[in-house]
Structure 1
């Protein structure tokens, strides 16, 4: 396959990514890959999915949202990254990537999102932005106001200090220090005050968006993941178009050791559903 390093313009810093295209056969469809929380275009499904997709003639754009990695260097000594992410910026970044594909003549892309990127993929398709052809949710989290309490109860994010850290973040935002960083007791370890509040109060609801998704979808969850945090069944029941729910055996959130099987399952579903021959 051919790999092209790309830069996608936004109203802030550009988004870096790789556009994968087949060399031995024509392009039959295109896909957008939305990475997970604090990940990037060369980790997780954004890393292992392009090869199997391109083998079926599906061009892929894997790219960094502004919320990539945990803290990253930008121009000069300016910093950004996942610790500063805001939902509305992530939604805008996904739209910018869709627009970039459209400028290359690739319309109606297949949307594939992992974890936080899956939650954002559901929002993207609920908005029908770029009229997506199909949606694949790979362990998309529940989103909404349930997400932060669930993560904390599970021993991540704020753990048993949610009320304390929420009050701290609110006070920092109130005094104009929303971009300052605060430490968390567990993943993802460091976050800006405004991102903490945004995550708790403005994260889109995955199941809430389900009735507005009008393209066919596939929703995967590993059997080691909590059903209440990754609501495969609830989304499938509420979806506005046919949704296939699959539970992957012996599988964690990152598909560790199951990448080949998961990649094959996703591609087989995409080829069949989108009638890619």
Structure 2
């Protein structure tokens, strides 16, 4: 996290494992050291990412700097293909139901540590899942959406049109995935022409059919929301302004100039803005 740690911050981190079916959910639990503890936050990573990379890695020192304890954890759908046993898991095998359940288990783990209503922060696919979690948990004090995608049945088509995921082979790959699932082979790997390049037939169909809709969730979310998007990102795939129009409460939209989806080179700015906004909202 070189270059992203707030000056003078002192952060203590504990390696933790949240109990879950199959493998546990690994993560780090950060505490604010010498600062008084104000609240807790849970971080939900995006597709192909994990608890120590990207926003889940660079945000905790900033959050601890304003007195927050932070749980940064892996869902079973972390990285792309992972195997801590001889059973493969990871982003290529993820389902929506599994991801929602993983987030619930992480929240219960935090409750067991004395934090029953944490701030929720999610990046990309984790942001879409964060909207679903907060819609189900109105006690959430604040939500931060970092380039949360629109979810729903439109996401795969929009992302593919931009060259991601299935690219110009959406119909072909959809038919192939459906045939494999019908043949009882949902875990067979499929190569995609765009990021994130590899998935399974079952996960591909699940993504096409079962993603929660960010915009449908918006009216159900009444806590304060910060929605951050990079200027170089597609406004339809990451619909910050539309979400703000539909939301049930206050939404502050921040567009980071010349910034990409992963905030490359802008980690300190994003971390500072998120921490400053939460510091104000929680006060």
Q: Same fold (TM over 0.5)?
A: yes
Q: Within 5 A, what are the aligned runs for 1:82-93?
A: 82-93=91-102
Return the offset for 1:156.
1.2
Matched, 1:109 2:104: no
CA shift for structure 1 position 116:
0.4
**2: CA distance, partners of 1:71 / 1:228:** 29
Q: Secondary structure at the match of 2:268?
A: helix
**Are residues 1:134 and 2:142 paired?**
yes
1:272 aligns with 2:280: yes
Task: Name the residue aligned to 1:48.
Answer: 58
Question: If the length of structure 2 is used for normalisation, what is the TM-score?
Answer: 0.95
Does the alignment pair 1:184 with 2:192? yes
Corresponding residue of 1:206:
214
CA RMSD of aligned residues (A): 0.9
Aligned partners of 1:183, 1:52: CA distance in 2, in Å? Answer: 37
Q: For 2:226 and 2:194, how far apart are their aligned partners in 1?
A: 30
Aligned equivalents of 1:34 and 1:184: distance in 2?
A: 24
1:64-123 superposed Cα distances (whole Å, 9 cap, x missing partner): 000000000132x21110000101110110111110000000121010000000000000
Match of 1:71 among 60, 70, 81: 81
Which ranges of structure 1 fall in alignment gaps of 5 or more residues? none
User: 2:247 aligned to 232, 239, 246, which one?
Assistant: 239
- Alpha-carbon distance in structure 2 between the residues aligned to 1:74 and 1:192: 18
**Can you give the 5+ residue segments of structure 2 that lack an aligned partner in the other structure?**
1-10
Q: Matched residues in 2 for 1:128 and 1:215: separation?
A: 10
Give the TM-score, by structure 1 length.
0.97
State yes or no: 1:33 paired with 2:47. Answer: no
Residue 90 of structure 2, aligned match among 74, 81, 84: 81
1:170-212 Cα offsets, whole Å, 9 max, x none, are 0000010001111111211111100000001101111110001
Matched residues, number: 273
Q: Which secondary structure state, in structure 1, belongs to the residue aligned with residue 34 of structure 2?
A: coil
Secondary structure, in 3 states, of the residue corresponding to 1:73?
coil
CA distance in 2, matches of 1:21, 1:49: 13
1:150 matched to which residue of 2?
158
Shift of 1:26: 2.3
Q: Is the 8 A contact 1:178 1:192 kept in 2?
A: yes
